[in-house]
Amino acid sequence: MNYNIKDYFDFKFRLKPKHKQKIINTCYFSAVFVAFVLSLAHNNRVEASIDNQDYFSYIIVEDNINQNVENEETIDTSNNIKAMFDMVDNLLTSKNIEKEVTLESGDTLISMLKRVGADRETANDIFYSLKEHYDPRNLKAGQKLKVNVAIDTKSENIKSINYLMIEPVPGERIITANNNGIYETHVEKQEFIDEISSISGTVDGNLSASMNKKGIPMRVISNFINLFSYSVDFKRDLQKDDKFEIVYESQILPDGTLVKSGNILYAGLILRKQKISLYRFMDSNGKVDYYTENGRALKKILDRKPLANKNARISSPFGKRFHPILKKYKIHWGVDYAAATGTPVYAGGDGVVQVVKYNGSYGNYIKIRHNSEFSTAYGHMSRFANGIRPGVRVTQGQIIAYVGSTGRSTGPHLHYEVIQNGRRVNPRTIKASTGENLSGNNLKKFQKVVAKFDKDFGKSFAKGKDLKLAKR
Ligand SMILES: [Zn+2]
């Protein structure tokens, strides 16, 4: 069958409007697709050709695609053929490129925008639009901004600035974008994910390096070390193959970027197979502290009177005194507490027993090292408690011996010394302990927390498996 050009037009115009629209739409989308492919090929060329300009670094170009999709929605369908050609034409003559610009010392937003290629009016428009949400004077040298520019593909000149993007803090973006010649600013906030990390590992030489190798942020590591610094001498107590365990909170962005590292919920150290566990807990008064698994508060300060009898009187204070046996003035390097023979003597703080022996005028003597700064010594005891020998780790309040009158002594009493950085100091003037042990309902609640922790993390710690969990 023959038909001429007239027949074709007759055919075309006899189509129902609905069908006609379908054909136009099909043409339109095909054209957009072709334009899209062209733009991809084109982009690479543009990017490569200006790659070695000095103060910009280029990042992935992706904006033509998004912008075209947006344009597609705003096009009036009655004009879509024309719009399609405009768009193809635009794609061929103009490219959108996103640049990362670093603010230099002495730069202002306006000077930076001008350097990128904005004219004075555009730079001012962007400045005032941005200012409604963010004071551009808060920008600092070294800060990175993103500028998306339309570039003429022939001349490679900048035609216009599509948008400026500032990320003042991770997860927050302030975008000033060109909307039909008017710059409008909006703020985008990404939602943080609250994450809980549970990580364990072996100490290989240096604790903080070993923890850092596992990806734990330095701020969390230094808090971890602070928690133990009252009971562990990190230089001497840590040995190869000792272990650490930690559960801590952090806030991350959906892409995994760390926004903020938060509280340590659990901290554990296994030193020569002896484990010290500390759990974070808020009591019914809202007071937050760290407690051992039995609800004992992390005691940061040494006990002033490490005796079961808290009413024991001071029979001889610290300092210069007339010695009752030697009959002369002498400095008394400790405090004497008079108490009945057999009264339990406590460890003044958490630490490692260093000396257990009969020590001349001290009689039965114990020395405990608490940390790199403090040690305590105890004299004249009648006997030592079971299991107390050098190298054993003790906790504050643990019975280490019993009051007696061994050595140079006139009656049963405890001679107690506090040694700070190698010098004996007055035990009465060291600060009183702040932490209070848990009891009653607080203790019950705390025991539930401990049980939940052991259930949630105990197995993975035992297997050396690290976990990352989204909170709630
Ligand atoms: Zn004494």
Residue range 15-189 in CATH 3.10.450.350: yes
Mean per-residue pLDDT, 66-72: 35
Question: What percent of the chain shows pLDDT beyond 70?
Answer: 79
The rounded distance, in Å, linking the Cα atoms of 61 and 97 is 6
- The answer, yes or no, to whether residue 91 has pLDDT greater than 90, is no
pLDDT digits (tens, 9 = 90+) for 238-262: 888 899 999 999 988 888 788 888 8
- Catalogue the E-assigned strands of 253-387: 258-271, 274-282, 288-291, 313-316, 319-322, 329-332, 335-338, 344-346, 351-358, 364-369, 374-381, 383-384
The rounded distance, in Å, linking the Cα atoms of 146 and 155 is 22
Q: Give the pLDDT of residue 472.
A: 60
Which amino acid, 107? D
pLDDT digits (tens, 9 = 90+) for 406-455: 999 999 999 999 999 899 999 888 765 566 789 999 999 999 999 999 99
399-402 sheet: strands from edge to edge: 344-346, 399-402, 383-384
Distance 441 CA to ligand 1 centre (A): 41
Distance 430 CA to ligand 1 centre (A): 18
Distance 386 CA to ligand 1 centre (A): 24
For 304, residues 6+ apart whose C-beta sits below 8 A from its C-beta are: 427, 428, 430, 432
pTM: predicted TM-score of the whole model, two decimal places = 0.57
pLDDT digits (tens, 9 = 90+) for 140-155: 888 889 999 988 888 8
Q: Give the pLDDT of residue 1.
A: 43
Give the number of other CB atoms < 10 A from CB of residue 388.
18
Distance 374 CA to ligand 1 centre (A): 19
> Under a CB-based contact definition with an 8 Å cutoff, are residues 65 and 72 in contact?
no
Q: Which of 348, 340, 346 is nearest to 315 (CA)?
A: 340
Q: Give the pLDDT of residue 142.
A: 87
> Under a CB-based contact definition with an 8 Å cutoff, are residues 24 and 85 in contact?
no
Every domain of the chain and the residues it spans: 15-189, 193-298+463-470, 313-425
* Within this chain, domains 15-189 and 313-425 share the same CATH topology: no
Distance 332 CA to ligand 1 centre (A): 6
Distance 226 CA to ligand 1 centre (A): 33
Distance 334 CA to ligand 1 centre (A): 5
Distance 426 CA to ligand 1 centre (A): 12
Distance 359 CA to ligand 1 centre (A): 13
The rounded distance, in Å, linking the Cα atoms of 341 and 309 is 11
Segment of 181-185, 354-358, 430-434, 466-470 carrying the highest mean pLDDT: 354-358
Distance 244 CA to ligand 1 centre (A): 40
Distance 378 CA to ligand 1 centre (A): 9
Distance 229 CA to ligand 1 centre (A): 29
> Under a CB-based contact definition with an 8 Å cutoff, are residues 173 and 191 in contact?
no
Question: What single-letter DSSP state applies at residue 19?
Answer: H
Q: Give the pLDDT of residue 59.
A: 28
More confident position, 221 or 9: 221
- The answer, yes or no, to whether residue 112 has pLDDT greater than 80, is yes
pLDDT digits (tens, 9 = 90+) for 323-349: 777 788 888 999 999 999 999 999 998
Distance 451 CA to ligand 1 centre (A): 45
- The answer, yes or no, to whether residue 21 has pLDDT greater than 70, is no
Distance 355 CA to ligand 1 centre (A): 18
Distance 130 CA to ligand 1 centre (A): 73
- The answer, yes or no, to whether residue 320 has pLDDT greater than 90, is no
Distance 366 CA to ligand 1 centre (A): 14
The rounded distance, in Å, linking the Cα atoms of 122 and 176 is 11
Q: Give the pLDDT of residue 56.
A: 27
Mean per-residue pLDDT, 112-125: 90
Distance 391 CA to ligand 1 centre (A): 25
Overall fold of domain 313-425? Glucose Permease (Domain IIA) (2.70.70)
Distance 301 CA to ligand 1 centre (A): 22
Which pair of tokens denotes residue 313? 């009187």
Give the H/E segment covering residue 122.
helix 120-131
Mean per-residue pLDDT, 373-397: 94
pLDDT digits (tens, 9 = 90+) for 32-55: 555 544 444 443 333 322 222 222
Distance 316 CA to ligand 1 centre (A): 7
- The residue with tokens 């379908």 is 22
Q: Which of 60, 64, 372 is nearest to 72 (CA)?
A: 64
For 50, residues 6+ apart whose C-beta sits below 8 A from its C-beta are: 58, 151, 156
Which pair of tokens denotes residue 339? 């108490």
pLDDT digits (tens, 9 = 90+) for 286-311: 888 899 998 988 766 788 889 998 78
Architecture per CATH, 193-298+463-470: Roll (3.10)
The rounded distance, in Å, linking the Cα atoms of 184 and 442 is 54
More confident position, 171 or 391: 391
Least confident of 61-70, 193-202, 334-343: 61-70
Question: What percent of the chain shows pLDDT beyond 90?
Answer: 39
